[in-house]
Amino acid sequence: PFNTEAVAGRIKEHLRRHSVDSAKLHRVIFSVPGTVELAGVSRDRLTVVKNMPSFSRKFRGLDFQKAFGSTFPKSKISALSDNMGAALGAACLRPDVKSGLVLVLGTAPAVATFFRDPSGKDKYIETGIWQSWVWFSKIPLNDPYGYCGGIKTDKETGRIVVKPPSAYKIPHRQARIRFALDNNTWLRFMGRNPHLDSSLQAPLEIKEATRVWASRLQCSLNKLAEKFHDIYGPPEVVYVLGGNATRCHGLVTEAKYETTDQSMAVTVPVVIPKEDRRQQIMHMAGLVYSTQFKVKQVFAPGQDPLARGWTRGGEICMWVKRKEFRNKKLRSLDHHHHHHDDD
């Protein structure tokens, strides 16, 4: 079992060092990798996150309210998955934008979306986490470097299983976005992937590695924007965040796709923050922003193919503005609106 008491102690100590009294906090928001627990969601706020990857396979969820309630006795506690926080942050910092797609390039790529109340009355925001788009959409590989890992169907059970990270197809003509842009791929370009023999990963010049990475990102964004279009119509903006995104600043500036019926060609601006600080502000803004909403309805179609909650078709959350916040501008964050995200 996961020792939450030790974690609570470390959090208290960290806050104390920064002169914050944990007993006096009114609102605490955790942001963690994983998927939000949808069944029996407290309609007011989300408190359970499951499938956090650093935990064991048996890990089926942690209720942050239960685990940390005594650490923060006066506080309402909620928990968000990281990419949901990023999507809300994008919505928060750009109140003029009606809909957008957010790709986070971390250990593995993850995709989230936001779609604002089309009536313009600011009553709700719909967010979606679409892991199936990343796991099952393939892009052409216009480079000789192939991919590692991958998934396969287990002949005995018919279940989809993840191959070990040491599995590889180098070169290969295509790859799922999940394995074309994961951190293991970047490490391999640098000659530092711990799962592979060095003969399979002669380090690339940083310029060449970045060129290949940006080309793969371009193909992925084109595909993801098209997926978005099929559900919501054209996205107004695409954000790319995460540690493996910054190097593509200035190299990937728009996503292009044709609609499924080939009736229109669409171009969408892509924003990649130049530095980590901008990304962190966006994420933190999303966490603060989440407190202005109640989570009304949550929808997750179908059982996830990998049985770890990561790859359902989509997890849709309806965030309904609490009455006291409707049509209020976000004062504390207003000064960020004047910077365009590229500065």
pTM > 0.85: yes
Cα–Cα nearest to 341, from 238, 247, 228, 233: 238
- For the segment 111-158, what is each residue's pLDDT rounded down to a tens digit? 999 999 998 888 999 999 888 899 889 999 999 999 999 999 889 988
Strand-pairing partners, residue 109, are 105
Residue 328: the pLDDT is 60
Residue 201: the pLDDT is 96
- For the segment 244-275, what is each residue's pLDDT rounded down to a tens digit? 999 999 999 999 999 888 889 999 999 999 99
Residue 342: the pLDDT is 45
Residue 61: the pLDDT is 72
Residue 18: the pLDDT is 97
**Beta pairing class for 62-63 and 147-148:** unpaired
DSSP 8-state symbol, 85: H
Per the model's pLDDT, the better-predicted residue between 63 and 218 turns out to be: 218
Residue 80: the pLDDT is 87
- For the segment 26-62, what is each residue's pLDDT rounded down to a tens digit? 999 998 877 666 555 555 678 877 665 555 555 567 8
Residues in the chain: 343
For residue 226, with 0-12 CB atoms within 10 Å meaning exposed, 13-18 middle and 19 or more buried, which class applies? buried
Q: Are 109 and 181 in contact (CB under 8 A)?
A: yes
Q: Which residues contact 221 (CB under 8 A, 6 or more apart)?
A: 103, 238, 240, 252, 255, 270
Identify the weakest region by mean pLDDT among 32-41, 224-233, 329-338. Answer: 329-338
- For the segment 177-208, what is each residue's pLDDT rounded down to a tens digit? 999 999 999 999 999 999 999 999 999 999 99
- For the segment 289-324, what is each residue's pLDDT rounded down to a tens digit? 999 999 876 766 554 444 444 444 677 888 999 988
Residue 297: the pLDDT is 66
User: What is the Cβ-side half-sphere exposure of residue 337, based on CA atoms within 13 angstroms?
Assistant: 13
Q: Are 183 and 108 in contact (CB under 8 A)?
A: yes
- The structure tokens listed for 187 are 């490490």
Dist CA 35 CA 24 (whole Å): 29
Dist CA 234 CA 100 (whole Å): 9
- For the segment 148-184, what is each residue's pLDDT rounded down to a tens digit? 999 998 899 888 888 999 999 999 999 999 999 999 9
Q: Are 321 and 124 in contact (CB under 8 A)?
A: yes
Per the model's pLDDT, the better-predicted residue between 84 and 219 turns out to be: 219
Beta-carbon count within 10 A of 313 CB = 17
Q: Reply yes or no on whether the pLDDT at 90 is more than 90.
A: yes
Dist CA 196 CA 141 (whole Å): 20
Residue 70: the pLDDT is 92
